[in-house]
Amino acid sequence: MATFRAPFLEGGAQPIDPAMAQRLLSAALEDGGEYADLFFEYSASGSFALEDQIVKSANRSVSVGLGIRVRRGDATGYAYTESLDEPEMLRAAKTAGKIASGGGTAPASLETKAPAKRYHEQASTLGLDSELKVGFLKRADVAARAYDPRIVKVTASFVESVREIRIATSDGVWITDRQPLMRFGVNAIAEANGKRQSGSSGGGGRVGLEYFLIGNRKPEDHGKEAARIAIDMLDAVDAPAGELPVVLSPGDSGILLHEAVGHGLEADFNRKKTSNYSDRLNQPVASELVTVVDDPNIPGSRGSINVDDEGRPAERVELIADGILRGYMHDRHSAGHFRTISGNGRRESFRSPPMPRMTNTIMLAGPHAPEEIIANTKKGIYAKRFSGGQVNISNGDFVFSLTESYLIEDGKITAPLKGVNLIGNGPEALSRVDMLGTDLELSDGIWTCGKDGQSVPVGVGCPTTRVSAMTVGGTQVG
């Protein structure tokens, strides 16, 4: 079994020890910076793609480098290097420090911190045999094709990575973390009578191959589910248009919460007063049924982290409680502005500075049985799977497309629908939540969040949720 270890860890070719980190921090602060941090990162990733029962691609990549940030007041200097030779790192440190001028600040002595343990450090699949992973893809392909003869095309993918980080800060933090990540996915296309529809299924997280042993997560299960959706959608009818009740299914529907509400609760937007939630702490912003948290503690979840990318402990943040806005998600900069603690500073890689980002953003369960919510909806839309959408952070307006949805008629889920878009406003939608299920679920590890050109893995989740009225963009009037 191959091993993947960062060169800056103990035993590496050139380990970065506290003495070297102190030299780099001193160089970064010598022009008068008030604070500096070092972000060492080693990332190894791989992927396999199967199409029409043939392995179409197999890739491996490695990235290593150091990002250095210096702050003075609200001004930030940032530089990075892909070389871990000390002269190159010192040059990057001094470049970042040029943001400041004046007397230098001496960094504090580094104190080793132990991160939380929310995933197994050895869970990475990268070192496992390639044929085993390709075998998973083939099993999913066979299961999807066997589901129905109308399945005409199947693609499957396995994406894996391990990220090792070491963070040193001028206020004395010295911490190391190793973050595995895996995602498995299947897409099936069905054709019949001139119609063509697709379906997908997948999941993963900060887990190893034990993922496939839990619940309905075998490669065959994902293959069958992708085929089921594609076949069901062959019978999809035109979606109604207008304002209707919308029932969000548990799990994946949390992506609407993440995009339409979560980004507006990231503190950099609120520090700049560009969010719809700016200056609204301790005010009602949602139905009294609604409680929303950002929680990095969930073992093995895609969005979970032991420590954020600024070396701060990542902890659960209560954002909305019983409809009242209680907090934002902070990085170190916004936490200083709001005089609170941080733990949501995240970055795509050492090439990028950190910013406030979500981890696992979840709406907590409510008092209603899921079947009760459906039974009490005379006519509406059941939203099961989302593809993507657009959101305006400043006012919360959104448009989302659905890949799997159904009509609700007289308290029963009936015909599958095609061409469904949900149009609305995040805060307004939360204020219209009038029934909330007991069946909280997390999405099965498929989502990646983009912000300002940076992507990070995230988790989402929610129970069955009814929004009393939302604009449905469809082609059938009535």
- Kindly state the DSSP code that residue 224 receives in the 8-state scheme: H
Q: What is the mean pLDDT of each run of 10 residues along the chain (478 residues)?
A: 60 75 95 95 96 94 96 93 94 92 80 87 81 96 98 97 96 94 97 95 94 91 97 94 96 91 95 94 97 96 97 96 98 95 96 97 98 97 88 88 95 95 93 97 94 96 97 71
Q: Is the pTM of this model over 0.75?
A: yes
Q: What is the pLDDT of residue 5?
A: 64
Q: What is the pLDDT of residue 296?
A: 97
How does strand 454-457 pair with strand 448-451?
antiparallel
Q: What is the pLDDT of residue 478?
A: 46
Q: What is the pLDDT of residue 3?
A: 52
Q: What is the DSSP string of 420-447?
A: -EEEEEHHHHHHTEEEEBS--EE--S--
Q: Among residues 64, 229, 230, 59, which one has the least CA distance to residue 158?
A: 59
Consecutive H or E run containing 86: helix 86-97
Q: What is the pLDDT of residue 1?
A: 43
Beta strands (DSSP E) in 297-420 are 317-321, 324-325, 345-346, 355-356, 360-363, 379-391, 397-409, 412-418
Consecutive H or E run containing 448: strand 448-451
Q: Widest CA span of the chain, in angstroms? A: 76
Which residues lie closer than 8 Å to 149 by C-beta, 6 or more apart? Answer: none
CA 320/CA 318 separation, integer angstroms: 6
Which residues lie closer than 8 Å to 289 by C-beta, 6 or more apart? Answer: 322, 323, 366, 367, 433, 434, 435, 436
Q: Among residues 296, 316, 317, which one has the least CA distance to residue 306?
A: 296
